[in-house]
Structure formats: structure tokens, C-alpha cells
Amino acid sequence: MTQRIWNFSAGPAVMPEAVLEEARSNLLSLGTSGIGIMEHSHRGKAFLKVYEETEALCREVGGIPANYKVLFLQGGASLQFAMAPMNLLAKDRTADYLITGAWAEKARDEAQRFGSVHAACSSEDANFSYIPGECLFSAHPAYVHFTSNNTIFGTQFRSEPTPPPGADLICDASSDIFSRPLDISKYGMIYAGAQKNLGPSGVTLVIMRDDLVDRGPKDLPAMLQYRTHAKNDSMYNTPPTFAIYVVGLVLKWIKEHGGLAGMEERNQRKAGKLYSYLEQSGMFKPTARPDSRSLMNVTFVTGNEELDAKFCSAATKAGFDGLKGHRSVGGMRASIYNAFPEAGIDALIEFLREFEHQNG
Ligand SMILES: Cc1ncc(COP(=O)(O)O)c(C=O)c1O
């Protein structure tokens, strides 16, 4: 087999090797069924068992209370940008959005199609390099929406904002879901595209309190109502069966590695090593403010675009893929989600040191 290289992609991203191997072993026959995992009917016993196990593991690993639904939907987090306001924001109400990056802006733009939107805070003044400390909420927001980790700008909320009384908290956790312990009861809804911390692209996890599931207008298209998916165990239409299966394997891997507390410890150690190196470096500097730095996406620059480009090209040649930063920040970005191995961080630090030595 071709040697695997260090993959710092922001998503789809590296997966645990044990997961890939188990998936491979079930491609031609799921267990002893004689039918591969992708070939089973979603209505058949074999897949229903996979589905039930995945949902149960999700509840166990995520500590999801019984009064929350777990849904596996399609359309990515981007569809949730629209579905959430479509269901939860009446025309005469206002929703508050915390503007901490490009994905938060996209979510806000979709909400504006359905009702009024108020920006409760923004860090646009410093190219989204920090998480604002304070929010100014509107009088009675229907909900408060935030993006827990800003994939592009490398910032992350340390803990969830507290919404005003009566407003539900909605979170786009696409790039840090299940990377640390979560108190789900503080949220009305959490959603995340799977392709960074949970598995392959093609499935979106939605965790939603029961009363919100039933709040949406009943004249929306069936596929756009949460109740449709809740009533049908996410099988109103054909679900992304293979992606759901792999999410189950990833959840099993998380459980075997200490659950969310284990992930947090691992993620702090990995990101901590990289930030420590960058802090003392004479060439590379992190772009995010220290109190706002993400454990998932470490963004850094040399301060010289030509040198950034030289570094990225040398890194690619040396087997470090996906380190080029998003065009709106420039520089470099190391995406190091749950499954990214610590050995890859050590190798990157060694490479950074060597590059600095030769080019400093
Ligand atoms: C924080 C965040 N939200 C939303 C998205 C969009 O997700 P999707 O492509 O699943 O629609 C991304 C993708 O990178 C993201 O990082």
C-alpha cells in the first residue's frame, strides 16, 4: 500500500486508521451477512442494527439527555444555516448571531431570509482573530446562534455564551463537535457536518431538544421540517447509510480513547505543543489571540507571503499535506482534529524548526 502522509486538511479530514480498517473489512460483507455495508437496504435488519448502535453510541459518548433527538441529516451544516431559522425564526421575531467568522456570517445571511437578525457581537474589526468577550443581545431573541470553532480563522469559544432568559442557544459545532466534554442541556440545538471530527462527508449530526423539533411551521416542505426526520428516525428518505456507519465506528474509537474527556486531554496536548513551538519561534507566529486560540485549527504566518509560500511548498514535498491557510487569512493552517495523530504534530514541529534554521 502507498505510505500514508500527514494530512492537515480542514475537512474532509484524517480519520482514525482503525476506523478505516474496520470499514474496509466490511465493504464486501458486513459481518457474515454476505452483503457489503454500502449494499444493505436502509430498511433491512442489518442496517437498522448499525443505525441503532450509532445513535446509542452518540447518546452515550455525547452525554445526550433523553429529551433531545439525535438526527442524521444531509445537506451539510450549510443546510442547517437555513433549516434552523426556517423552523425556529418567525417573521416577526429576531434571532441573535455572534459574528466570529465566515461561517457565522453565512449562517446569519441565511437567517435574514426568514426573519430579523441582530449581530450580538463581532470580531470583524481584527479579521476575526479573537472571540469577543461580551455580547449585546436584542430585547427578546428567538434564539442565539454561535459557531463554537472558527475553522478558517483558528479561534474557538472556551465555553458557550449564555443567552438571555427565554432564548435557546443554537451552535454550529462543525469543526469541534465531540472534541471536549459538552453540557448538552445548555443548548436548544447543536449541529455539525461530520467531515472533520465525526467521519466522512455526507451526513450532518443534529442534536435538538424535543420541544424545538415540533416548533416549526407545518407548511414547510416535508424534508425541511425537523419533525419529519424525528418521526422517521432520520429515514424519511434514504439516509447516507455508509456515512452513518462510519460515524458509528468513529464514536466507538472516541469511546475507546477516553470519551470526550480523553479527546480534550489529547487535543490540549497536541495543540499545546504546536502553540508552544510557535510562541518561541523567531519566524512563525500564531494569528489568533492567545485567549481565543483553537485546539482544532492552528493558524500561523511568517509575516512574509513569499516565505509562507516557500514553506507550504517545502512542507508538501516533505509529506505534510493541507497546510496552506485559507485565502482570507493567508499563511498556514494545521487542522488537527480528534483523529490527527500526536506523532504528526511532533513531525511538523521538527520540520518547522528545520525550516526556520535553514531560512532564518
Ligand atoms: C464551522 C463550519 N460551519 C459550516 C461549514 C460548512 O459545512 P458543510 O460543507 O457541511 O455545509 C464548515 C465547513 O468547513 C465549517 O467549518
Report the alpha-carbon distance of residue 258 to residue 265 in Å, rounded. 9
Q: Are residues 238 and 107 in the same domain?
A: yes
| Confidence class for position 137, pLDDT limits 50, 70, 90 | very high
Instruction: Tell me the β-bridge partners of 155.
Output: 150, 293
- Exposed, middle or buried, 347 (CB in 10 Å: 0-12/13-18/19+)? middle
186 Cβ contact list (under 8 Å, min separation 6): 160, 169
Residues 50 and 244 sit within 8 Å (Cβ to Cβ)? yes
Q: Which atom of ligand 1 is nearest to the CA of 193?
A: 10
Once rounded to an integer, what is the mean pLDDT over residues 184-203?
98
Indicate whether 5 belongs to any domain: no
Instruction: Tell me the β-bridge partners of 110.
Output: none
Once rounded to an integer, what is the mean pLDDT over residues 125-139?
97
What total number of domains does the chain contain?
2
Q: Are residues 242 and 332 in the same domain?
A: no
Q: Are residues 246 and 300 in the same domain?
A: no
| Confidence class for position 359, pLDDT limits 50, 70, 90 | very high
Indicate whether 221 belongs to any domain: yes
Dihedrals phi, psi of 35, to nearest 5 degrees: -130, 130
Indicate whether 9 belongs to any domain: no
Query: Residue 285 CB: number of other CB atoms within 10 A?
Result: 13
Once rounded to an integer, what is the mean pLDDT over residues 221-234?
98
| Confidence class for position 161, pLDDT limits 50, 70, 90 | very high
Q: Which of 78, 98, 147 to mutate to test the pocket of ligand 1 (most atoms within 8 A of CB)?
A: 78
pLDDT score at 360: 86
User: What spacing in Å lies between the alpha carbon of 103 and ligand 1's midpoint?
Assistant: 7
Options 96, 172, 176, 308, the catalytic residue:
172
Q: Are residues 295 and 242 in the same domain?
A: no
39-74 per-position pLDDT tens digit? 999 999 999 999 999 999 999 999 999 999 999 999
Once rounded to an integer, what is the mean pLDDT over residues 170-199?
98
Q: Are residues 60 and 148 in the same domain?
A: yes
DSSP 8-state assignment for residue 162: P
286 pLDDT exceeds 90?
A: yes
Q: Are residues 216 and 294 in the same domain?
A: no
Once rounded to an integer, what is the mean pLDDT over residues 87-100?
97
Q: Are residues 98 and 164 in the same domain?
A: yes
| Alpha carbon distances (Å) from 339 to 14, 190, 277, 347 | 6, 21, 21, 16
Among candidate residues 256, 272, 302, the one where a domain is terminated = 256
Report the alpha-carbon distance of residue 350 to residue 352 in Å, rounded. 6
Q: Are residues 334 and 198 in the same domain?
A: no
Q: Are residues 226 and 117 in the same domain?
A: yes
Residue 317's CATH number:
3.90.1150.10
Q: Are residues 106 and 29 in the same domain?
A: yes
Report the alpha-carbon distance of residue 60 to residue 41 in Å, rounded. 26
pLDDT score at 1: 73
172 is catalytic: yes
Report the alpha-carbon distance of residue 296 to residue 340 in Å, rounded. 10
Report the alpha-carbon distance of residue 265 to residue 192 in Å, rounded. 21
202 lines ligand 1 (CB under 6 A): no
77 lines ligand 1 (CB under 6 A): yes
pLDDT score at 2: 86
Among candidate residues 214, 234, 256, the one where a domain is terminated = 256
Instruction: Name the H helices within the chain.
Output: 17-25, 45-62, 76-88, 102-111, 210-213, 226-231, 241-256, 259-280, 305-317, 342-359
61 lines ligand 1 (CB under 6 A): no
Indicate whether 250 belongs to any domain: yes
By three-state DSSP, how is residue 251 classified? helix
Indicate whether 3 belongs to any domain: no
Domain containing 57: what range? Answer: 17-256
Report the alpha-carbon distance of residue 170 to residue 87 in Å, rounded. 12
Q: Are residues 184 and 279 in the same domain?
A: no
Once rounded to an integer, what is the mean pLDDT over residues 1-26?
96
322 pLDDT exceeds 80?
A: yes
236 pLDDT exceeds 90?
A: yes
3-state SS track over 271-298: HHHHHHHHHHCCCCEECCCHHHECCCEE
196 is catalytic: yes
Residue in 200, 246, 277, 205 with CA at minimum distance from that of residue 13: 200
pTM: 0.98
Options 196, 252, 270, 324, the catalytic residue:
196
Among candidate residues 221, 256, 291, the one where a domain is terminated = 256
- Beta-carbon-side half-sphere exposure of residue 100 (alpha carbons within 13 Å): 29
295 pLDDT exceeds 80?
A: yes
Question: Considering the chain, what is the average pLDDT of its residues?
Answer: 97
70-82 per-position pLDDT tens digit? 999 999 999 999 9
Indicate whether 6 belongs to any domain: no
Indicate whether 1 belongs to any domain: no
pLDDT score at 17: 97
Indicate whether 328 belongs to any domain: yes
Residues 288 and 123 sit within 8 Å (Cβ to Cβ)? no
Residue 24's CATH number:
3.40.640.10
Q: Are residues 55 and 165 in the same domain?
A: yes
310-319 per-position pLDDT tens digit? 999 999 999 9
264 pLDDT exceeds 90?
A: yes
Strands 320-321 and 297-301: unpaired
